[in-house]
Amino acid sequence: MSATTSAAVRRAVEVVREDVASLHAELIRNELVIWTAGNVSGRVPGMDLFVIKPSGVSYDELTAEDMVVCDLDGHLVEGVHQPSSDTAAHAYVYRHMPEVGGVVHTHSTYATAWCARREPIPCVLTMMADEFGGDIPVGPFALIGDDSIGRGIVETLRGSRSRAVLMGGHGPFTIGRSARDAVKAAVMLEDVARTVHVAQQLGQTWRLDDTDIDSLYDRYQNVYGQQDGSR
């Protein structure tokens, strides 16, 4: 951004930088990533910009100043580091899903195991119905480097109530109204991926009826929690 960028725009960017930087600590705390893998991004409200983790920087060293700002084509706008290798995927999601305010990618153990199997996680738990509105879908395998992963995410999640996708042979991506919302979805995804895996080792599981899933999802999204939208 240039020196003539307004103070209001700069402040909006800095708020997202601070938020995205702090949310990376949640990935570590919830054991969703190792080393430098994984990333959180957040859209800058009202602007064609988003903030994302830099490539290859240790989580222990991340600060708000390290976060990089990109436009919706994935081009670097501001920052001293190169953006994440997943930037093109995040940018594609923001361009094609304007309702999305945050994107998260992890290699969390159980969710990634389902990605390796290329098998949807069946909605056998009320928590899955609440949070994801049904099964967790599988997206196509795609190589890193261009927007192929982003296309797979959008094609899989557009028209779906799920806020998580299991990208085949790669790892999970989650979306949300905000970066924090997307991180919450990533935490919940790993929890249900682990629980359903354990349940299936014990024996048969039963998918919830669609009518019950619809009822649970509606209650959780529209009734549960506080009036400020927190759940």
DSSP conformation letters of 152-217: HHHHHHTT-S-SEEEETTTEEEEEESSHHHHHHHHHHHHHHHHHHHHHHHHS---PPPHHHHHHHH
Q: What share of the chain in percent tops pLDDT 90?
A: 94
Nearest to residue 186, comparing CAs of 131, 123, 116, 114?
131
197 a catalytic residue: no
The position carrying tokens 């529209």 is: 222
**Model's pTM, two decimal places?**
0.95
130 a catalytic residue: yes
Give tens-digit pLDDT for 121-158: 999 999 999 999 999 999 999 999 899 999 999 999 99
Catalytic residue among 170, 181, 191, 217: 170
Catalytic residue among 75, 209, 212, 224: 224
Give tens-digit pLDDT for 24-76: 999 999 999 999 999 999 999 999 999 999 999 999 999 999 999 999 999 99
Catalytic residue among 66, 107, 197, 220: 107
Give tens-digit pLDDT for 179-201: 999 999 999 999 999 999 999 99
170 a catalytic residue: yes
Residue ranges of the domains in the chain? 8-222
87 in Cβ contact with 70 (< 8 Å): yes
Distance CA(84)–CA(41), nearest Å, equals 10
Superfamily assignment of 8-222 in CATH? Class II aldolase/adducin N-terminal domain (3.40.225.10)
105 a catalytic residue: yes
